Amino acid sequence: MDKLIAPSILAADFGNLERDCKMINESEADWFHIDIMDGVFVPNISFGIPVLQSISFHAKKPLDVHLMILEPDKYIKKFADLNSEIITIHYEACNHLHRSVQEIKDLGVKAGVAINPHTPVSALNSIINEIDLVCLMSVNPGFGGQKFIENTYIKTQELKNLIISKNSNALIEIDGGVTYENAKKIIKLGADVLVAGSFVFKSKNPRKTISELKSV
């Protein structure tokens, strides 16, 4: 499978969301990455359902919704109703991860599980065959514009091995601090989806930057 590029809306200009959504629509990007932060699970609040409603209205590509929130079960249905293609919940935020994953799938949405930089890949052993995507956090979640944590390379390799050994179809998504330089190495190690926020939106020509990432 060709790799997928998911620009993170967190780094967009919120005063010009329609313009930035249009840019993604017209670019070579594959998905919209949507970061929802609750100020409890992570030390930051991003945006919530009304803003996602507008994004969903303008977006012409699948919405990849990354929930950095405690008790995601309370909101899964609301996010599913907003045309989410994938809903990713955090391993560290769920008491009953299997049940939450099931809830997402029962709504006809693809289910992803994200793990923080300190969480070992082996934590996914018993869930890897139930999910469509693993989001490996390559920064501590909560903010855009952070530096890529190098240990993610080893974790990408470990995750690839786990997926192969279990015959799982889960995609590997890398989220945080992705740049043109580290993208090459990450893809070589088996990643399928690259999330990029600052690298895309802070560049002179975001559309061109997306296309450069796509051709890594």
Q: How far apart are CA 157 and CA 135, in angstroms?
A: 14
Residue 10 partner contact from Zn ion, ligand DX5, none using kind-dependent CB cut-offs of 5 to 8 Å: ligand DX5
Distance in Å, CB of 165 to ligand DX5, minimum: 27
62-81: which residues touch ligand DX5 (CB under 6 A)? 66
48-67: which residues touch Zn ion (CB under 5 A)? 66
Among 56, 198, 206, 210, binds ligand DX5 (CB under 6 A): 198
Distance in Å, CB of 165 to Zn ion, minimum: 27
Residue nearer to Zn ion on the CB measure, 10 or 101 = 10
Mapping DSSP to helix (H, G, I), strand (E, B) and coil, where does residue 63 land? strand
Give the count of beta carbons closer than 10 Å to the beta carbon of residue 26. 11
How far is CA 199 from each of CA 6, 30, 116, 119, 204, rounded to the nearest angstrom? 12, 16, 21, 25, 10
Among 196, 206, 210, 213, binds ligand DX5 (CB under 6 A): 196
Mapping DSSP to helix (H, G, I), strand (E, B) and coil, where does residue 34 land? strand
Distance in Å, CB of 44 to ligand DX5, minimum: 8
- How deeply is 126 buried, as exposed, middle or buried, from its count of CB atoms within 10 A (0-12, 13-18, 19+)? exposed
Q: How far apart are CA 83 and CA 152, in angstroms?
A: 30
Given the residues 30, 35, 38, 132, the one annotated as active site: 35
Burial 164-183 (b: 16+ CB within 10 A, else e): eeeebebbbbbbbbbeeebb
Binding residues with Zn ion: total (CB under 5 A)? 3
Q: Tell me: does residue 141 bind ligand DX5 (CB under 6 A).
A: yes
| C-alpha angle 59-92-40 in degrees, rounded to nearest 5 | 70
Residue nearer to ligand DX5 on the CB measure, 111 or 112 = 112
Q: Point out which span in 23-31, 57-65, 118-126, 137-145 binds ligand DX5 (CB under 6 A).
A: 137-145
| C-alpha angle 120-137-45 in degrees, rounded to nearest 5 | 125
Residue nearer to ligand DX5 on the CB measure, 13 or 108 = 13
Q: How far apart are CA 169 and CA 20, in angstroms?
A: 32
Tell me which residues touch ligand DX5 (CB under 6 A): 8, 10-11, 33, 35, 66, 139, 141-146, 175-178, 195-199
Tell me which residues touch Zn ion (CB under 5 A): 35, 66, 175
Known catalytic residues are: 35, 175
